[in-house]
Amino acid sequence: MVLGVRAARKQATRDRVLAVARELFQDVGYEETTIRMVAKGAGVSVGSVFTTFSGKAEILSQVMDDRLDTLYAELDRVIPHLRGPTVDRLRSVMAVHYGFEMRRPRMFLAYIGASFAWSPGKVIPVGRNARLQGMLRDILVAGVESQEVRPDADQQTFIDVMLASYFWNYRLASQQGLDAEALIAVMDRQIGLLFDGVAAR
């Protein structure tokens, strides 16, 4: 389908706004970035930003949604090659996440923080990413088949606890300046500890 001139222009504005916002959120900070700054950087009026987005929170949400394509492409490359024990496969999936998100840590931290302020129903809260949950569940199910994981283990709670710690570890990046490698090391310990609870005995 060919877009009309008008629709094409609207799409181009939208893309520019998102690209500019992504840079500002990381370089200047989410709180500090204003719609006016985004409009100026994208070479459009403040009014035209608001015809496309309801506000800054929606722009952040869209920027974060868009990043998922790149993240999943990366995971799709890695996952088929995962070998070794179940616990290490889980660690690898989470390590890919830290490696990816820590390329723009400031933006990601703002995203987690802002997700608590968003009104219900508007945005999917962080941590309910069905695809990530599905990936982890597949690994656990395979672990049951290979008799590494107890068949009666509470897989959903395991995943919930793991993801809660996964997100909360980003605090260490903001408070103590930990980098991706250091966060991966913390998560490796946490996954090891959690896995002790579901491991076949």
For the segment 8-67, give every residue that binds other proteins (CB under 8 A): 30-31
Q: Which of 64, 87, 95, 163 binds other proteins (CB under 8 A)?
A: 163
**Segment interacting with other proteins, rule: CB under 8 A, options 36-44, 59-67, 93-101, 163-171:** 163-171
Number of residues lying near other proteins (CB under 8 A): 35
Sketch the per residue contact string, 171 through 190, with other proteins: x for CB under 8 A, - otherwise: x--xx-------------xx
Q: How far apart are the C-alpha atoms of 183 and 166, rounded to whole Å?
A: 9
| Residue 199 DSSP code | B
**Segment interacting with other proteins, rule: CB under 8 A, options 12-20, 43-51, 92-100, 153-161:** 153-161
Residue placing its CB nearer to other proteins in the complex, 30 or 98: 30
Binding flag, residue 200, other proteins (CB under 8 A):
no
Residue numbers of the site for other proteins (CB under 8 A)? Answer: 30-31, 109-110, 112-114, 116-117, 120, 125, 127, 154, 157-158, 160-161, 163-165, 167-168, 170-171, 174-175, 189-190, 193-199
